[in-house]
Amino acid sequence: MKELIRKFTMGHPKQMTEPVIWYFLEGFTVGFPAVAVYFAINLFITYFNNPSIIFDKGYWNIALWLAGFFLLQLTVSTVTFLKTFLPGALNSAQNKKDFIQKIKRLPLGFFSKTRSGELINTFTGDFLAIEQGMVGSFTGLFGVVFSCILTSVFMFWFNWKMALAFYIALPISAIIILISFKVLGNLIVSSRTAKDNTAEALNEYLSGMKILRSYNQIGKGFSKLEDAYKNLKDISIRGETLGGSFLGFALTFARAGLPLMCFAGTYLIVGGEIGLTEFLSIIIIGTKIISPLLTWIRYTAILRMQYVSATRIDNVMRKKELGGEKSIQVKDLGDIEFEHTGFSYLPEKNVIDDISCTFKKNSLTAIVGPSGGGKSTILKLIARFWDVKSGSIKIGGVSLNEINPDQWLKHISMVLQEVYLFHDTIRENIMFGNKNATEEDMIRASKLAGCHEFIEKLPEGYNTIVGEGGSTLSGGEKQRISIARAILKNAPILLLDEPTASLDSKNEVLVQKAISNLVKDKTVIMIAHRLKTIKNADKIIVLDKGRIVEEGRHSELLEKQGLYARLWYLQNKSKEWKISL
C-alpha cells in the first residue's frame, strides 16, 4: 500500500490526507443512516400496532435524528466533492510541473531511448488516469470500504446468519478480480504501448509530410499510421471484452448476495428464528450495502489500470538526473579542460576515447575531422547534455559534474546543426535567447547574423509566424535566426556546430565577421567542415575516430602534412571539379 500511495502521489503522500478523511466521513454518513433504518422500521411497525405512539416524544426525537443525518450526509458529500476534486486538479497541475522539471534535468540519453509518443501519452493519458484515481477510484476507495465495513458490522450484529448469506458469494467475486489482474496485466501494458506507437506514428507522419510527399510515399506513411491504429483497436477490443467479462461476472456474484440473503431470511422466518420486522430491516440494510460494494469492485478493477499509468510516470521520476549543486559566476569561468575523457552512446562503442585537451578562455578553438569522429559529441558534453563515462571535464579547475546544469547553461549559447524554431513570430524566436533584450539589441544581433535583410523583406517582418520547427523558412534562414538568438543571449561561452554549413557565400562572410567580433571576451568552440572558415582560429583540434590526432594553428598543421593537410588539400581540389554534361 505504501508503494501504491507513493506512485499515485508522486512522492507526496500528504496529497491524499484530506481527500481520504473526507471520504471516510462520507462513508460514515452513508453507512450510519442505513443502520438507523433498522430502528425506523421497528418504530414503523410499532406505530401500526399502536397509532398513539406518534405523539410519543421519543418517536419524534428519532425522526429528527434521521433527518439530521440525511442533512449531514448531503453537507458532507458536497464538501467532500469540493475538498477532493479542486485540490486534485491543483495537485495534478503541480505534479505535471514536477514532471516537466524532472525531464529538464535528465540527460539527453533519456530522450534518445524514449520515444516522443511515449512521453506525450504519459503527460496526457497517464496523468489524467492518476488524477481520476486521486479524486475518485483510489481515495474514494477508502470511504467506500469504510462504509461497507461499518454497515456490515451492524448487519452481522443484527443477524449473522443473513449477513453470512449476503457475503457467501463475495469470495468468488474477489477471486475473479484477482484472476483478471493476472490475465489483464500484460494486456493493459500492451494497450499503453500501442497508444505510444500510435502517437509516435501520427507525430512522424505529420512531421515527415514534406519527405513523404517528395518521395511520393504518403500512402506508405499513412499505412504505418493505419497499422498502428488497427493494432490499438485490436488490443482495445480484447481488453474491453476480457475486462468487461471479468467485471461483469464479479459484479453478478456480488449482486447475488441480496437474493441469497432473502432466501436465508425466509428460511429463518419459517423456522421461527426471526420476525418479519427484523427480516425487512436487514434486507433494507443489504440494499444499502450493495451500492458501495459494487463501487468497491469497480474501483478495484479501475485501480489496476491506473496503477500502470502511475508506474509509467514513476519510472520517469526515478531516472537518474544530472547531478551538481555548485553555482559558478562569470568571473570564475576559466579554461575548459578535458582530462582523459571518454564517452559512448552505446556500451560497446566509444564515440570519444581518452581525450585530453584545453579550450582556452576568450579564444576561438575549432574542431575538425571526418564525419562520425565525435566533434558534435564534444560540444554536447561541454553543454552537459550528457555526463562523461570516464575522465572529467573541468571549468576553471571545477569538475563540470559538480556544477548545477541549469546554472551552467546560463553561461552558454549554442548553434547546432539541427536548428529548431518554435511556432511563433521571428521576433519571439530571436528574443528567446534573452527575454530582457531591447528591440535595438535584437535587430543588432540579427544584422550580425546576416538575417535582418531577409526578415525585413517578409510581409510581416519580425512579426512573421514561422511554422513548427521553422518549416516555413529555408535551412539557411533558420540557421541565421538561430545564430542571432545565440548572439543576443551574449553568453561568455559560445558553441557553434557548423554554423555556416547552410549559408551561401555572401552570408557566410557576414557570419564569419560576426564570429570574429564574438571572439572578443568570449570562449568560442566551433565545429567546421569548411576549413577556410577557421583558418584564423587560435587553435584547431583534429579528431579522427574519437581521438585527437593533431592540434595547433592552421599554418602549423599544414606543415605537419597530416590529416588536416589532406583535408585542406581535398577541399581546395574539389573547387576545381566541374560537372560534365
pLDDT of residue 103: 83
Residue 559's DSSP bridge partners are none
User: Which residues are CB-neighbours of 264 under 8 A, at least 6 positions away?
Assistant: 161, 162, 164, 165
pLDDT of residue 338: 92
Number of residues that make up the chain: 581
Q: Enter the C-alpha cell of residue 570.
A: 581535398
- Residue 421, CB half-sphere, CA atoms under 13 Å: how many? 29
pLDDT of residue 320: 83
Return the CA Rg of the chain. 35
Residue 544's DSSP bridge partners are 547
- Residue 350, CB half-sphere, CA atoms under 13 Å: how many? 15
Cα–Cα distance between 26 and 356 in angstroms, integer? 67
Q: Which residue has the cell 466521513?
A: 25
pLDDT of residue 367: 92
Positions of CATH 3.40.50.300 in the chain: 330-574
Rounded to 10 degrees, the C-alpha dihedral 180/182/188/190 comes to -140
Could you name the CATH architecture of 2-169+256-317? Up-down Bundle (1.20)
- In whole angstroms, what separates CA 298 from the centre of its chain? 27
Q: Span 330-574: which CATH code?
A: 3.40.50.300
pLDDT in tens, 495-529: 888 776 666 666 667 666 666 666 667 888 999 88
Amino acid at 14: K
pTM of the model: 0.69
pLDDT in tens, 274-286: 877 778 878 888 8
Q: Put the strands of the sheet holding 547-552 in their side by side order.
A: 412-415, 493-497, 523-527, 364-368, 539-544, 547-552
Residue ranges in 159-169 assigned as alpha helix (H) = 160-167
3-state secondary structure 374-422: CHHHHHHHHCCCCCCCEEEEEECCEEHHHECHHHHHCCEEEECCCCCCC
Cα–Cα distance between 61 and 73 in angstroms, integer? 18
Cα–Cα distance between 240 and 180 in angstroms, integer? 12
pLDDT of residue 339: 92
**Do the beta carbons of residue 503 and residue 513 sit within 8 Å?**
no
The CA–CA distances, whole Å, from 126 to 123, 190, 296, 309 equal 6, 14, 22, 5
User: Which residues are CB-neighbours of 448 under 8 A, at least 6 positions away?
Assistant: 484, 487, 510, 513, 514, 517
Residue 425's DSSP bridge partners are 465
Below-50 pLDDT ranges, the chain: 578-581
Q: Which residue has the cell 426471526?
A: 274
pLDDT of residue 510: 64
**Do the beta carbons of residue 309 and residue 123 sit within 8 Å?**
no
pLDDT of residue 121: 81
The enclosing H or E element of 359 equals strand 352-359
Cα–Cα distance between 482 and 98 in angstroms, integer? 29
**Do the beta carbons of residue 474 and residue 503 sit within 8 Å?**
no
Q: Enter the C-alpha cell of residue 401.
A: 559534474
**Do the beta carbons of residue 381 and residue 394 sit within 8 Å?**
no
Positions of CATH 1.20.1560.10 in the chain: 2-169+256-317
**Do the beta carbons of residue 258 and residue 265 sit within 8 Å?**
no
